[in-house]
Chain A
Amino acid sequence: EAGVVQSPRYKIIEKKQPVAFWCNPISGHNTLYWYLQNLGQGPELLIRYENEEAVDDSQLPKDRFSAERLKGVDSTLKIQPAELGDSAVYLCASSRDGNTEAFFGQGTRLTVV
């Protein structure tokens, strides 16, 4: 069974430019999470989806960040415009539902210059 797939693995952009990350969860997993991991720290939840509904986006900086999961499977996370402080690893995770364990993808390392 394939795990959580994220792309791209690495992204370097100039500040003020837009960037998007893509995530394909484990087949059959209804819950999808986006996490932010700063260097040397634990992951922090940005948004959680139950199917196509964003049920917890309280930690998502909505002035520049947006996310979607239109058909309840794949998801994209967008930043526009990017700032230097957005440099981090963006992790996607999925679980069968919110009451089960979560499995992470390899992450996208974003560098804003």
Chain B
Amino acid sequence: GENVEQHPSTLSVQEGDSAVIKCTYSDSASNYFPWYKQELGKGPQLIIDIRSNVGEKKDQRIAVTLNKTAKHFSLHITETQPEDSAVYFCAASNGQGAQKLVFGQGTRLTINP
């Protein structure tokens, strides 16, 4: 089955700097890759997703890149703000959507003011 590895497990950056979180997956049939943000005591919140027919997707300060050949995808957050502090999860699915999501282990991102 699918296996998703996420790095780093913790990341600390200065406010205003960029943060990058990387994930690799094992199933070459995977074609849907969402990213979730989870704040303390809350459920995961979808922040951006990408499908395998696209190499990059951007939404304001957040971007995701996908390299299907290498089977890895990354989350980029620019101009980080204190409210970006949270745990971020990547996931992969070999369905068209969320039907078979396998999550990474999470990255705890801390933005230092």
Partner-B contacts on A (CB < 8 A): 4, 6, 31, 33, 40-45, 48, 56, 91, 93, 95, 97-107
Count B interface residues, CB 8 Å. Answer: 25
Partner-A contacts on B (CB < 8 A): 4, 6, 34, 36, 41-46, 49, 89, 91, 95-106
In the complex, number of A-B residue pairs with CB atoms less than 8 Å apart: 69
C-alpha gap A76/B83 in the complex (Å): 33
C-alpha gap A42/B101 in the complex (Å): 11
Q: Which of B6, B89, B95, B98 has the most CB of A within 10 A?
A: B98
The answer to whether B89 and A42 have CB atoms under 8 Å apart is yes
C-alpha gap A100/B96 in the complex (Å): 7
Residues of A within 8 Å of B43, CB to CB, are 4, 6, 91, 93, 104-107
C-alpha gap A44/B106 in the complex (Å): 12
C-alpha gap A104/B97 in the complex (Å): 14
B contact patch SS: mixed
The answer to whether A98 and B96 have CB atoms under 8 Å apart is yes
Residues of B within 8 Å of A102, CB to CB, are 34, 46, 97-98, 101
C-alpha gap A40/B107 in the complex (Å): 9
Give the distance to chain A from B44, nearest Cβ to Cβ, in Å.
5
C-alpha gap A103/B100 in the complex (Å): 14
Give the distance to chain B from A36, nearest Cβ to Cβ, in Å.
11
* Pairs A–B under 8 Å by Cβ, sample size 14: A4-B43, A6-B43, A42-B6, A42-B106, A95-B98, A95-B99, A98-B95, A98-B99, A100-B97, A101-B97, A102-B97, A105-B43, A106-B43, A107-B43
Residues of A within 8 Å of B42, CB to CB, are 106-107
